[in-house]
Structure 1
Amino acid sequence: MPVWGFATVMQSRVEGIAVGERFYGYFPMAGLLRVQPDRITERGFYDIAMHRQGLPSPYNQYTRCQTDEAYVPELADFQMLLRPLFFTSYMLADYLADNGYFGARQVVFSSASSKTAYGTAFAQADGPCGASGEAPQCIGLTSAHHCEYVAGLGLYDQVADYDGLEQLDASVPTLYVDFSGSDALRERVRAHFGASLVHDCFAGSATNTDYLDETRWSDPVPQSFFAPIQIRKRNQDWGAPTLSRRFGAVQRRFLRAVSDPSNGWMTLRVHQGLEAARAVVEDLYLNGGQPREGHVVRLQRQDTSGASRLS
């Protein structure tokens, strides 16, 4: 089972990768991984092992912690949980701003308690590049039992449960950012806002794994957001080092906000070993997760000297 996390180099026959270095990336849930590094730079490397060739490039990229501007050692647990989600959040907020929010005066997020949704709201408030004028109002839609939590984040100008959707102001230009993937909810959104709906953005799904069927909808046809397209654009606009630096600065602010106990956004649950990982995954699958909880599993392996190495 693949997970995002950190690993320490235990053995290396590759120039440019030293024993003891720490890397961040997409790893199997295991104590040891053998990789075939290529495209080695000061920023990290790519694993070109044959069995990984069908994966999108980001899943084969391993980032060198010592040169990663977004890496903060004391926030590493939060980075494991949130960096992949927040990179999507940051690029989505940048995409919306880059397009002037499509003329909207309010942005409605579904599944507002999801990490990617409130990360987008954070990045939007933090001020991504590209927009001129004042950012639109930010409205979070969530289930009734998550309303208190979402309101407590302080990231949305207004919070409503799904039953309150039809009470939202439908007279102003509205942009819908969908993190739920619910066709039934999309139908209600489109019926309520009608001609005021200026853009319908499908950002992902917190509730199902079905792909968006764009053919069944009239204008505005839902548009799937794909972060690599905006990344490619910003690499051309700014250059990859500038994008990395800008993202790193915002991510540091986001992780500090999430990890601040006084904010109450997230509580870490730290577990030890593969058996604990099995129990965590089973519980999440059967019972769902709580938005306030993040789970980190530490895997350890004994090397030949008897020292315990963290992977």
Structure 2
Amino acid sequence: MAVFDQTDKVWRFLISPDDSTRYRVDFEDPLVRDDLSQGQASIAIERFSFTANNILYVVLGHQNRYWDLFPAEGKWGNSPAWGVGRVVDSKSDLLEKDSRLFGLFPLASQCVIQPRILGPRHVVDTAQHRQALAPAYNRYTRIDELDHFHGIGGDWQLLLRPLALVGLLAAHHFKDRNYFNAKIIYVTSASSKTGIGVGLMIKNQSPEMKVIGITSPEKTNYVSALDVYDQVIDYDNLAELQDAPSILFDLTGNHSLVQKIHSKLSAALKHSASAGRSHWSAGGETEVVGNVAPERFFTPVIMQHYLAIWGGELFERRFGATIQTLQNALSGQVEIKHVRGSEGLTSLYMQLLDGSASAKEGHIIIT
């Protein structure tokens, strides 16, 4: 059993890339200025959100190269999380001490980056091991002068920014393709904050589309009360799927479930998008039904597409509006919970793995 009382130490939460149920916590002396190479900055990670989305980073760590973001020694991996950090020491002329950044940090209380300026509000980590990853994963936002990153608003930003992005992009991605001539979009894992964001933004963007959430039987009342979906169906009642031109937006990664939905909709299914792994332990492959095979919905690639079309300023404006819309929808339904240190993270990690974490809570790890 891990010993968590390690005063004046920094910690790293390490996970086995080959078995997500195996983990350990390492404690080390804090890095000091002499430990840094020229051009590097040491970051004290202050807090980060931790949701089912983080389990996706673990499960798809090899496929999407998430383990490459923050390499660990031996057969262990340091998975990423969206958080806020403060510069505590710097040998870079580009980042001054006490600057605060938002971006992807390791599950840890300290890390090192090698910054390069990317416009007035952003820096990018140029460390060699990160260069093969999607650009969105290497970018950090300066937040010292951004009021919405402070207080309870800051907690909502940490919680919702990674999740709201999927909703923003899905709504525009499907509208730009005329929803593949579908009239209905089904969203699995409908209780998840990502699923809620997708449903909400598609309804806002295209009110004529019918959005149906699919969730577990014990969560149907909660999901229905959100007033996001036109209808809610549970996984045990897929006979209620309608015989009309449809899109499936799957966040479960449960191939057996997806196969059942494909089979039920048959020729009515016009497009199938695979965007998550909330049912992370489900295995197998989804067979093609008719002419439709699941297509991967990879957020960083789609984000780069719309950044190129809209430009950074319009993208950020639309993204900010999406976050606020999602926060307004969830603020009376979801309670922000602060979880302390590596011990609290360990407990929450196991709850998210076994599915026992409450959908009505949004968790922020205070390191």
Report TM bin, short chain. 0.7 to 0.9
> Shift of residue 118 of structure 1?
1.0
1:72–1:252 Cα contact (<8 Å) kept: no
Residues 1-311 of structure 1 correspond to what in structure 2 (within 5 A)? Answer: 1=78, 2-66=80-144, 71=149, 73-127=151-205, 134-170=207-243, 172-208=244-280, 213=285, 216-258=288-330, 260=331, 263-264=332-333, 266-286=334-354, 288-299=356-367
Indicate the larger mover: 136-145 or 25-34.
Answer: 25-34
Alpha-carbon distance between aligned partners in 2 of 1:283 and 1:144, rounded to the nearest angstrom: 19
> For the structure 1 residues 173 and 70, does the alpha-carbon distance in structure 2 shift closer, same or farther, using more than 3 Å as the test?
farther
Alpha-carbon distance between aligned partners in 2 of 1:286 and 1:212, rounded to the nearest angstrom: 19
User: Identity percentage over the alignment?
Assistant: 30
> Shift of residue 41 of structure 1?
2.5
Alpha-carbon distance between aligned partners in 1 of 2:164 and 2:147, rounded to the nearest angstrom: 15
| SS of structure 1 residue aligned to 2:337 | strand
**Residue type at the aligned position of 1:140:** G
1:39-87 per-residue CA deviation (whole Å, 9 max, x = no partner) reads 3431211112234344432222111124669746532112222211221
1:178-212 per-residue CA deviation (whole Å, 9 max, x = no partner) reads 11222222222222222211111212221127899
Alpha-carbon distance between aligned partners in 1 of 2:213 and 2:335, rounded to the nearest angstrom: 22
> Shift of residue 286 of structure 1?
4.5
**Residue type at the aligned position of 1:160:** I
Alpha-carbon distance between aligned partners in 2 of 1:105 and 1:70, rounded to the nearest angstrom: 37
Indicate the RMSD between aligned Cα atoms, in angstroms: 2.5
Alpha-carbon distance between aligned partners in 2 of 1:186 and 1:273, rounded to the nearest angstrom: 37
Indicate the larger mover: 173-182 or 203-212.
Answer: 203-212
> Shift of residue 276 of structure 1?
2.4
Indicate the larger mover: 206-215 or 39-48.
Answer: 206-215
**Residue type at the aligned position of 2:233:** A
1:98-142 per-residue CA deviation (whole Å, 9 max, x = no partner) reads 111111111111111122111111111232xxx6xx531110111
Indicate the larger mover: 100-109 or 9-18.
Answer: 9-18
2:336–2:363 Cα contact (<8 Å) kept: yes
> For the structure 1 residues 209 and 97, does the alpha-carbon distance in structure 2 shift closer, same or farther, using more than 3 Å as the test?
farther
**Any gaps of 5 or more consecutive residues in structure 1?**
300-311
Indicate the larger mover: 4-13 or 227-236.
Answer: 227-236
> For the structure 1 residues 212 and 53, does the alpha-carbon distance in structure 2 shift closer, same or farther, using more than 3 Å as the test?
farther
> For the structure 1 residues 106 and 165, does the alpha-carbon distance in structure 2 shift closer, same or farther, using more than 3 Å as the test?
same
Alpha-carbon distance between aligned partners in 2 of 1:267 and 1:165, rounded to the nearest angstrom: 31
> For the structure 1 residues 155 and 145, does the alpha-carbon distance in structure 2 shift closer, same or farther, using more than 3 Å as the test?
same
TM-score (norm 2): 0.71
Alpha-carbon distance between aligned partners in 1 of 2:136 and 2:124, rounded to the nearest angstrom: 9
**Residue type at the aligned position of 1:169:** Q
Indicate the larger mover: 246-255 or 111-120.
Answer: 246-255
Alpha-carbon distance between aligned partners in 2 of 1:139 and 1:40, rounded to the nearest angstrom: 40
Indicate the larger mover: 135-144 or 243-252.
Answer: 243-252
Alpha-carbon distance between aligned partners in 2 of 1:98 and 1:212, rounded to the nearest angstrom: 31
